[in-house]
């Protein structure tokens, strides 16, 4: 018998016989003749009932009511409309009256964590042993992540993983629609990609190798290889001991690189349209998931785009001026040398929201000193660069820039930034430009960050299947 999904249990199925395969969210024996199961499918819940009456024995009722929570069962029964709607179920006017039940996969009697406890989002500060108002233990984020497989079964996690899948799909859809080529570049590299610190060193037979810190050099080499536009969706590794709500040591990077004709703002426009497409299509195509997530994280999806559908554009120095006006104590000298801190970014986000009523904006023309060696300095003032960051709710989601495409200029920039142009991997990169390369620009965004900020989640780990951070390498 083909089994139906819960989404197919509409009113039309009342009084018909159906078969479903689902997890047991809860099982209880009401009396010797009656037992209830709450069934769960991808976070959605439907109640089933079993009553002792020919051909169902009392023993069968007892067995059903005693099934271990989280076991997967196959149930065949008649769909009825319950007299009183079942408020604890997702489909409150469906009740399955069981005729047959089979165990498909039995769960252990003692689980390390109850899925229903993980349903309640723990404040980040939840400590071991803390209980809520009615005495129910609160599950910490650590416990949830330690038991991530169970945690993924919650309604909220299910919806978050759909949003993550949606962002990836929309990114690829937009890139392909605009003639971009999907590429896969090596993650085992012979040189530190961006030239800075923060790379994982690994043993590569008799030599050293590194895990790629970004596809930067390779996506540019593809442009030199006469690909007009390329994109990649791949893991990015960062050996940074950053124990924050938004840093991971491995994340999913959405990267693109493309040639332009006259000005790098052609690519900045492209990036903006790309992000607007992703954000508006998420709101349109994933309404149900956003609604579900909102029950736990009320800011999910209520993301303010500017009215004209464009991002607000400011120069880095204009952002700095706004912060100064708000009384933030920053010397200009200091900000030429150091990027905004997270606190400054967030404050600027609040100021912009108040002044311009948007959560989505771009800072353009960062000081050259805070950008990597491959960034193109501003032709009219080399203190600044043709580079930009996109922000959502005051936190960075994308970095990008025009790149230096002249080999001599690139070599000088490497030396100025302390990167050795004669090092094995950098030599290959430099050669690509010695052989001629069109002007180009690009950007990179973190999938986990977009999902986190779009949904207003308090921690990037909640937007990551199996997060990796300085403390966590499992599960």
Q: Considering the complex, what minimum distance in angstroms separates the CB of residue 342 from ligand ATP?
A: 4
Segment (H or E) for 349 = helix 342-356
Based on the residue annotation, tell me whether 399 is a catalytic residue of this protein: yes
> Binders of ligand ATP among 246-265, rule CB under 6 A?
246-247
Contacts of 218 (CB under 8 A, 6+ apart): 183, 185, 186, 212
Q: Does 242 bind ligand ATP (CB under 6 A)?
A: yes
Cα separation, 330 vs 444, in Å, equals 28
Among 301, 439, 442, 458, the residue binding ligand AMO under the rule CB under 6 A is 442
Interface map 225-254 toward ligand AMO (x if CB under 6 A): -------------x-x------xx--x-x-
Q: Does 197 bind ligand ATP (CB under 6 A)?
A: no
Q: Which residues pair with 73 in a beta bridge?
A: 22, 103
As a whole number of Å, the CA-based R_g of the chain is: 27
Interaction partner, residue 443 (ligand ATP, ligand AMO, none; CB < 5-8 Å by kind): ligand AMO
Q: Does 166 bind ligand AMO (CB under 6 A)?
A: no
Q: Does 341 bind ligand ATP (CB under 6 A)?
A: yes
How many residues interact with ligand ATP (rule CB under 6 A)? 10
> Binders of ligand AMO among 358-417, rule CB under 6 A?
396-401
Cα separation, 401 vs 154, in Å, equals 39
Q: Considering the complex, what minimum distance in angstroms separates the CB of residue 40 from ligand AMO?
A: 31
> Which residue of the set 157, 180, 399, 413 is catalytic?
399
Interaction partner, residue 67 (ligand ATP, ligand AMO, none; CB < 5-8 Å by kind): none
The terminus-to-terminus CA distance of the chain in angstroms comes to: 36
Among 43, 77, 122, 443, the residue binding ligand AMO under the rule CB under 6 A is 443
Based on the residue annotation, tell me whether 247 is a catalytic residue of this protein: yes
Interaction partner, residue 244 (ligand ATP, ligand AMO, none; CB < 5-8 Å by kind): ligand ATP
Burial classification of residue 33, based on how many CB atoms lie within 10 Å of its CB (0-12 exposed, 13-18 middle, 19 or more buried): middle
> Which residue of the set 40, 144, 246, 403 is catalytic?
246
> Which residue of the set 194, 232, 396, 411 is catalytic?
396
Based on the residue annotation, tell me whether 238 is a catalytic residue of this protein: yes
Based on the residue annotation, tell me whether 240 is a catalytic residue of this protein: yes
Q: Does 30 bind ligand ATP (CB under 6 A)?
A: no
Burial classification of residue 280, based on how many CB atoms lie within 10 Å of its CB (0-12 exposed, 13-18 middle, 19 or more buried): middle
**Tokens linked to 89:** 């179920």
Q: Which is nearer to ligand ATP, 76 or 342 (CB)?
A: 342
> Which residue of the set 23, 40, 148, 238 is catalytic?
238
Cα→Cα distances 68→65, 71, 105, 405, 456, Å: 9, 6, 10, 63, 35
Q: Which is nearer to ligand AMO, 300 or 401 (CB)?
A: 401
Q: Do residues 238 and 446 make contact, with C-beta atoms less than 8 angstroms apart?
A: no
Burial classification of residue 383, based on how many CB atoms lie within 10 Å of its CB (0-12 exposed, 13-18 middle, 19 or more buried): exposed
For residue 378, report the phi and psi dihedrals to the nearest 5 degrees. Answer: -65, 130
| Part of the chain binding ligand ATP (CB under 6 A), chosen from 181-189, 237-245, 264-272, 406-414 | 237-245
Q: Which is nearer to ligand AMO, 36 or 360 (CB)?
A: 360
Interaction partner, residue 71 (ligand ATP, ligand AMO, none; CB < 5-8 Å by kind): none
Q: Positive or negative, the Cα torsion across 115, 474, 449, 270?
A: negative
Cα separation, 226 vs 292, in Å, equals 45
Q: Does 339 bind ligand ATP (CB under 6 A)?
A: yes
**Whether the bond into 55 is cis, omega within 30 of 0:** yes
Q: Which of 136, 89, 87, 92 is nearest to 113 (CA)?
A: 136
Interaction partner, residue 130 (ligand ATP, ligand AMO, none; CB < 5-8 Å by kind): none
Q: Which residues are catalytic?
A: 238, 240, 246-247, 396, 399, 449
Binding site for ligand AMO (CB under 6 A): 214, 216, 238, 240, 247-248, 251, 253, 255, 396-401, 442-446, 448-449, 460
Binding site for ligand ATP (CB under 6 A): 242-244, 246-247, 339, 341-342, 396, 399
């Amino acid at each position: 018998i083909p089994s139906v999904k819960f989404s197919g249990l509409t009113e039309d199925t009342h009084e018909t016989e159906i078969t479903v395969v689902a997890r047991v969210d809860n099982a209880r024996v009401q009396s010797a003749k009656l037992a209830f199961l709450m069934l769960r499918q991808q976070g959605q819940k439907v109640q089933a009932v079993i009553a002792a009456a020919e051909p169902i024995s009392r023993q069968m009722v007892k067995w059903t009511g005693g099934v271990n929570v989280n076991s997967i069962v196959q149930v065949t029964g008649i769909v009825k409309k319950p007299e009183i709607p079942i408020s604890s179920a997702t489909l409150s006017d469906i009740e399955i009256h069981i005729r047959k039940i089979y165990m498909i996969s039995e769960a252990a009697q003692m689980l390390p964590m109850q899925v229903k406890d993980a349903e309640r989002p723990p404040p980040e500060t939840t400590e071991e042993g803390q209980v809520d108002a009615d005495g129910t233990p609160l599950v910490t984020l650590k416990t949830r992540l330690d038991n991530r497989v169970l945690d993924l079964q919650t309604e909220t996690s299910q919806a978050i993983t759909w949003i993550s899948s949606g962002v990836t799909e929309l990114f690829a859809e937009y890139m392909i629609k605009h003639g971009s080529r999907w590429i896969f570049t090596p993650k085992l590299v012979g040189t530190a990609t961006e030239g800075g610190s923060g790379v994982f060193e690994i043993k590569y037979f008799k030599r050293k190798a590194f895990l790629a810190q970004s596809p930067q050099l390779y996506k540019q080499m593809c442009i030199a290889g006469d690909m007009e536009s390329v994109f990649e969706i791949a893991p990015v590794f960062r050996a940074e001991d950053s124990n924050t709500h938004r840093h991971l040591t491995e994340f999913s990077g959405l990267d693109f690189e493309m040639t332009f004709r006259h000005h790098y703002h052609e690519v900045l426009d492209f990036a903006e349209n790309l992000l607007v497409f992703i954000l508006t299509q998420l709101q349109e195509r994933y309404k149900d998931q956003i609604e579900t997530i909102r029950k736990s994280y009320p800011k999910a999806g209520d993301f303010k785009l500017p009215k004209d559908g464009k991002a607000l554009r400011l120069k880095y120095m204009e952002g700095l001026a706004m912060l100064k006006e708000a009384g933030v104590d920053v010397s200009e000298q200091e900000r030429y040398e150091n990027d905004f801190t997270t606190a400054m970014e967030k404050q600027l986000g609040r100021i912009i929201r108040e002044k311009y009523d948007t959560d989505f904006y771009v800072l353009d023309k960062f000081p050259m000193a805070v950008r990597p060696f491959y960034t193109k300095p501003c032709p009219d003032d080399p203190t600044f660069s043709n580079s930009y960051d996109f922000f959502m709710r005051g936190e960075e989601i994308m970095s990008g820039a025009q790149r230096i495409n002249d080999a001599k200029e690139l070599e000088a920039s490497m030396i100025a930034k302390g990167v050795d142009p004669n090092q094995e991997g950098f030599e290959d990169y430099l050669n690509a430009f010695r052989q001629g390369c069109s002007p180009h620009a690009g950007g990179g965004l973190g999938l986990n960050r977009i999902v986190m900020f779009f949904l207003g989640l308090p921690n990037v780990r909640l937007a990551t299947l199996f997060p990796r951070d300085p403390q966590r390498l499992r599960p």
